[in-house]
Amino acid sequence: MIIVLKNGITKKQAEDFKNHLEESRNVKVCPIAGTLSTVYGLVGDTYKIDIDSLRQDDIVEKVMRVQEPYKKANRKFHPDNTVIDVGGVKIGDKKIVVMAGPCSIENYEYLDALGSTLKGYGASIMRGGAFKPRTSPYSFQGLGEEGLEMLDYARKKYGMPVISEITNIEYLDEFMEKIDIIQVGARNMQNFELLKALGKVDKPILLKRGFANTIEEFLMSAEYIMSGGNDKVMLCERGIRTMETYTRNTLDLSAIPVLKQLSHLPVIVDPSHATGVASLVEPMSKAAIAAGADGLIIEVHPEPKKALCDGSQSILPDDFKELILRLRRVAEAVDREI
């Protein structure tokens, strides 16, 4: 971190400020005294420093970060890829992991139709929402606790780990018991109390990028979870909001290599929510794999037209099967497996 001091301050003011920084912020201050102004280079745990509070000091002209404000999620301090083991499924390794299932858990009939096919078609993890963060309070809100119960049934019956979204910390104990990966949805990416609570548990977390959040904000949210002690975090790019209306969101493909460069955490792509259109799931899945994604999370429904949520972006189980076969060729081209 670089701090430029204002012109005209006294030597004593500069000296006092240096001592104050070293004592209160646990950093070493390296001064460079120019003819007009003094510049301080700060070394140490500068990611812990609140840059805005420094800017408010009367003798400070400018503050600039040299290092990223996140540490635990940063590849600089953890050069190797993080691989997360979820019941034997390794996420972040050579094999691209596919999570698939309905937007919402609706009934046992659909659950069994998916449970008995998806694994054989190439999915390793089953997705399903129980608590749905819907834009309208009049839309289907999910089955809640009953949905978690049904996912627990499915994972036991079909031997597949399950992922589901948490919207309220009140249900954390039930998620801990019945769910293998806890999803934080785009709308809760900056629900910091939720992130802090998830930092204290021993459970993999799939953190979705908010639709209006920068990559740095995304990584800072991952840092919230990791700084609490839970380092099993996956980053999920699910599209951001742009001026384009043809697709539900715009899949930020370049976020994939950027996240891989900046962080060691696995990167998962959600082509379903990113596009909102079933026919775009395949091309965007191919692009995601080519760009370096470690996994995909895809909405699959036995009867998309009757789905209570997100039917227009859900694909049929048979189409999912064909999709995985076609993705295999893309995965091979980038030296991965699926």
Nearest approach, Cβ of 114 to ligand PEP (angstroms)? 15
CA distance 289 to 284: 9
Nearest approach, Cβ of 272 to Mn ion (angstroms)? 7
Among 142, 185, 266, 271, binds ligand PEP (CB under 6 A): 185
Nearest approach, Cβ of 216 to ligand PEP (angstroms)? 19
CA neighbor of 293 nearest in space, from 255, 326, 324:
255
CA distance 320 to 72: 36
Nearest approach, Cβ of 37 to ligand PEP (angstroms)? 47
Taking CB atoms, the residue at the shortest distance from ligand PEP is 185
Residue by residue, DSSP assigns 193-223 as: HHHHHHHTSSS-EEEEPPTT--HHHHHHHHH
26's torsion region: left (phi>0), alpha (psi -120 to 50) or beta?
left
Residue 286 contact partner, candidates Mn ion, ligand PEP, none, CB within 5 to 8 A by sort of partner: none
Nearest approach, Cβ of 199 to ligand PEP (angstroms)? 19
Query: Is residue 308 within the footprint of ligand PEP (CB under 6 A)?
Result: no
Q: Quick one: which segment of 51-59, 60-68, 179-187, 220-228 binds ligand PEP (CB under 6 A)?
A: 179-187
Query: Is residue 178 within the footprint of ligand PEP (CB under 6 A)?
Result: no
Shorter beta-carbon distance to Mn ion: residue 204 or 304? 304
Site string for ligand PEP, 125-164 (x = CB under 6 A): ----x---x-------------------------------
Q: Quick one: which segment of 7-15, 27-35, 80-88, 184-192 binds ligand PEP (CB under 6 A)?
A: 184-192
Which helix (H) or strand (E) segment is 61 a member of?
strand 60-64
CA distance 119 to 195: 30
Nearest approach, Cβ of 243 to Mn ion (angstroms)? 23
Q: Is 281 in contact with 248 (CB distance < 8 Å)? A: no
Residue by residue, DSSP assigns 219-255 as: HHHHHHHHHTT---EEEEE--B--S--SSSSB--TTH
How far is C-alpha 255 from the chain's CA centre? 11
Q: Taking each helix axis from N to C terminus, what angle separates 145-158 and 108-115, rounded to the nearest 10 degrees?
A: 30
Which helix (H) or strand (E) segment is 84 a member of?
strand 84-86
Q: Which residues bind Mn ion (CB under 5 A)?
A: 103, 310
Residue 25 contact partner, candidates Mn ion, ligand PEP, none, CB within 5 to 8 A by sort of partner: none
Query: Is residue 186 within the footprint of ligand PEP (CB under 6 A)?
Result: yes
Query: Is residue 238 within the footprint of ligand PEP (CB under 6 A)?
Result: yes
CA atoms lying within 13 Å on the CB side of residue 242: 12
Query: Is residue 300 within the footprint of ligand PEP (CB under 6 A)?
Result: no
Pick out residues in 56-115 that bind ligand PEP (CB under 6 A).
103
Nearest approach, Cβ of 82 to ligand PEP (angstroms)? 21
Q: Is 36 helix (H, G, I), strand (E, B) or coil?
A: coil
Residue 161 contact partner, candidates Mn ion, ligand PEP, none, CB within 5 to 8 A by sort of partner: none
